[in-house]
Amino acid sequence: MSELLILCVDRDNDVGEKANIETPVVGRDAVFDAAVRLAFADPEDSDLNAMFESLRIYNEMRRRHQDAEIALIAGDINVGIISDMKIAEQTDQVMGITGAKKVILVTDGTEDEEIVPIIQSRMTIDAVRRVIVKQSKPLESGFYMIRRLFEEKRFIRSFMPLMGLMMLAFSISIFFGYSELIIGGIIGIIGFYMLLKGLGLEQVAIDLIHSLKTSLYSGKLTFITYICAAILLVAGTFQGALASSEIQISGVLFKEFENIILITVFVKSALWWYVCACIAPLIGKIINMMLEGEQIVRQWTVLFSTVASGILIYGGSECLLAISGVEGNPWAGYQMLFFSIIGAIILYLIGVRIAEYARTLYERDNPQHNKERG
């Protein structure tokens, strides 16, 4: 039992994937043996340097006659929640074995901001040692890091296909003389990805792609409806852009709101294309569920809510254009907005009632399901 622990952390579990080492590893001889096995498996791995640095710190503590213990823990190749949960679990195991209350954390310098809070919530961190591999020449070091980056499977699978598609699209655009359009599209795609990443919604896009692949492999109708949705989105965008470019705003009462009016014209012209694009996959899913005899409840509410939202947005855009003097008169715009609100509420309530009726029929035909809920 020792109060101080020298803890080496391998977040992506290179020791397990490359050297088949089970963690946690506790004790000087066991960690040294693990380092040697990893060295034979991959001498260039950065975690190897961290392991030998933890051994050096341990030997230094022993020379100072300070009681200490050393351990190696690892996460998972799927870096993220699964990996961090394993690190937390193995930290608790090491604490139970060693009885340590203080820790000197040794890492390879990557993703420390994710590792430190996990350890700090369990033990007092006296020091953090980040091991960075030294290179004799900066240029050689940069080239080496780039080369190693392109050998990482996670980097290749997530980054290379996207960059390949962008470069291919850019080369074709130069050949046909549409480079500005493609550059704008590429910037838009990157911006959309950064927006999803920043909001933590990238999993939504991943789930959508997975659903599309599942539909394709299983031969379901939703694959066709996803393609229809993509076509409708593109058609609606072109329709909105065309309407915005053709609008005459010379008679607009509020010239300072010209950009807002152009956006409103775009929304009004593209709205029902976008609504149909949202409805298409949902209808395909409903048809598949009907063919498979599954319960259809929530889908009815979503379907009617989507249409109701379209009616409400259409009424709002008509009202704004009427107030600004582009189309009709303000009184007609107010009427359109009022009736669109009433229509949207009625349509939404119809969807809710249909969903409740469908749930009642299903529970009546499946009494066993009702017992399980009870």
Q: Which residues contact 36 (CB under 8 A, 6 or more apart)?
A: none
- Could you read off the pLDDT of 268-319 as tens digits, one per residue? 888 889 888 888 888 888 887 777 767 777 778 888 888 888 899 888 888 8
Say yes or no to pLDDT of 371 above 50: no
Long-range contacts of 313-317 (CB under 8 A, 24+ apart): 313/267, 313/271, 314/268, 314/271, 314/272, 314/340, 315/339, 315/340, 315/341, 315/343, 315/344, 316/340, 317/264, 317/265, 317/267, 317/268, 317/271
Q: Phi and psi of 242, rounded to 5°?
A: -65, -45
Q: How far lies 314's CA from each of 17, 212, 278, 279, in Å?
A: 56, 30, 16, 16
Residue 139 pLDDT greater than 50, yes or no: no
Look at 98-102, 252-256, 297-301 and tell me which has the smallest mean pLDDT: 252-256
Radius of gyration for the chain, computed over Cα atoms and rounded to the nearest angstrom: 30
Best-predicted range by mean pLDDT (121-125, 255-259, 293-297, 356-360): 121-125
For residue 350, the model assigns a pLDDT of: 87
Please report which confidence band the pLDDT of residue 374 belongs to, taking 50, 70 and 90 as the band edges: very low
pLDDT at position 5 over 60: yes
- Looking at per-residue pLDDT, the higher value among 219 and 66 belongs to 66
Q: How far apart are CA 114 and CA 84, in angstroms?
A: 8
The closest of 67, 61, 63, 21 to 40, measured between CA atoms, is 21
| Cα 236 → chain centroid | 26
User: What does pLDDT average to over the chain?
Assistant: 78
| Residue with the larger pLDDT of the pair 261 and 257 | 261
In the Cβ-directed half-sphere of 318, how many Cα atoms lie within 13 Å? 19
pLDDT tens, position by position, 40-59: 988 878 788 889 999 999 99
What is the pTM for the complete model shown?
Answer: 0.46
Spell out a b/e string for 175-187, using b for 16 or more CB atoms within 10 Å of the CB, else e: eeeeeeebeeebe
Task: Find the range with the poorest average confidence among 243-252, 337-346, 354-363.
Answer: 243-252
pLDDT of residue 147: 61
The predicted pLDDT at position 266 comes to 84
Cβ 51 vs Cβ 8: under 8 Å: yes
The token pair that represents 71 in the structure block: 């351990």
pLDDT value of position 373: 47
**Which has more pLDDT, 103 or 134?**
103
Domain boundaries, the chain: 4-130, 147-200, 204-373
**10, pLDDT greater than 90:** no
CB 162 within 8 A of CB 190: no
Q: Tell me the pLDDT tens digit for each residue of 148-193.
A: 666 666 666 666 676 777 777 777 767 766 666 667 777 777 777 7
> What local confidence, expressed as pLDDT, does residue 137 receive?
45
Q: Could you report the per-residue pLDDT of 199-249, keeping only the tens digit for each? A: 666 666 666 666 666 665 555 667 788 888 888 888 888 888 888 777 765
Three-state DSSP class for residue 126:
strand
